[in-house]
Amino acid sequence: MTSPRHLLYFLALGLFWGISPSLYRHWGILGVPVSHVIAATGFGVGVVLALICHVRGIDWIGGRRLQLFGLGCALLMVVPFGLGLVFARHVPATELALIISTAPIVNYLVALVSGRENAAPRRLAAIMLGFISTALLVITRDGMVSGQASWWLIAAFSLPLLYAAYNWFAAIWWPPRVHALAAGVSESFWAGMLALPFLLILAPPWSPEQLPASAYWTVLLAGAMWTLERIAFFTLIQEKGAVFTVQAVYLSTPAAVIIALSVYGGADVWLFVALAILMGALYLNNTGKSVA
């Protein structure tokens, strides 16, 4: 039975996932360096989660295996995160939101190819619908018919695959008897550490091009938001399972498009057609069952 607490976490998760593409676009418009976003949110989320672990008596330091796992997760998370921040500067937030939302379908496809999942007709149909949705999104963009393709848009389709690699690593190499929040602390701190050299070399705080502090308030807001997102995500994964948790994408996908449209505009009929097809694909993917 789903309690009001679980429902609140579920709604918050969908909203947090939905607002992220618009935040990416916002930072791109302001010119906030990618390394600053990753370092600030990585260290910020890590500190807050560590404090929560300390209060709850959870060992968040762990041993060598936890730290190696956190480093691996950070590497596989920072790459698509950083690329997403870059792509958001060249791809409309609405389209980026739809592309990222295909991640659950790509996750299943990777699991199917690697033998971790069996074929299920409904989920195979979801893959086909997901392909149709993304193909429709690409060919209906400005310049595609004339052959002047947006290579930024095409490159953005690497994000679901990269996130699938991250999910695959986390599922396969999760250390035994490690609390999810402790894993979140390790991953977050390592993400900040990985971004730090790029920050100091490419965009040092003492640079004359440094933005004023007022430009960073949304980065601090995102850090707080993503801390709550991690707590909601880990809680739902542990108490309700992955199948329930991943269905937050039903909220995040339309929320991402609506939020992006309300802030940046740029709607056309094909965008909504692609969204409708993708929602159908996500429904089939998340309700299908593997069969031998």
Mean pLDDT value of segment 41-58: 93
Residue 91 DSSP class: S
Q: Domain for residue 117, yes or no?
A: yes
pLDDT tens per residue, range 247-257: 788 888 888 88
pLDDT reading at 143 higher than 60:
no
d(CA 10, CA 26): 25
**What's the CA gap between 265 and 225, in Å, rounded?**
24
Dihedral over Cα of 174, 35, 200, 197: its sign: positive
Domain-embedded: residue 110: yes
d(CA 134, CA 230): 28
Per the model's pLDDT, the better-predicted residue between 129 and 149 turns out to be: 129
pLDDT surpassing 90 at residue 139: no
Q: Higher pLDDT residue, 2 or 185? A: 185
Q: What is the pLDDT of residues 244-291, one digit of tens each?
A: 777 788 888 888 888 888 888 777 788 888 888 888 888 887 675 544
Read off the pTM.
Answer: 0.83
Higher-confidence position of 27 and 214? 27
Average pLDDT of the segment spanning 123-137: 81
Position with higher pLDDT, 188 vs 232: 188
Kindly give, in sequence order, each residue whose CB lies less than 8 Å from that of residue 191, ignoring residues fewer than 6 positions away: 38, 41, 42, 46, 74, 77, 78, 81
Q: Is the pLDDT of residue 146 over 50?
A: no
Give 141's DSSP letter: S
Tokens 């709607």, residue located: 267
The count of structural domains within the chain is 1
- Give the DSSP per-residue string, 200-237: HHHS-TTSTTPPPGGGGHHHHHHHHHHHHHHHHHHHHH
Let me know if residue 281 belongs to a domain: yes
Strand ranges (E), 96-176: none
Specify if 292 maps to a domain: no
CA distances from 190 to 73, 177, 183, 185 (A): 9, 20, 11, 9
* Residue 183 placed within a domain: yes
Q: Is 196 within the bounds of a domain?
A: yes
Confidence of residue 148 (pLDDT cuts 50, 70, 90): very low
Q: Is residue 253 part of a domain?
A: yes
Domain extent, residue 216, equals: 4-287
Report CA 59 to chain centroid distance, whole Å. 26
Instruction: Quickly state the pLDDT bin for 147 (edges 50, 70, 90).
Output: very low
Residue 178 CA to residue 65 CA, distance in Å, equals 10
pLDDT digits (tens, 9 = 90+) for 75-115: 999 999 999 999 999 888 888 888 888 887 887 787 788 77
pLDDT at residue number 123: 76
What integer pLDDT is reported at residue 141 of this predicted model?
66
Crossing angle of helices 93-100/4-30, nearest 10°?
A: 130
Q: For the CA atoms of 228, 50, 173, 253, what is the dihedral angle to 10 degrees?
A: 10
| Chain centroid offset of residue 107 CA | 13
In angstroms, the CA 80 to CA 107 distance is 14
100 in a structural domain: yes
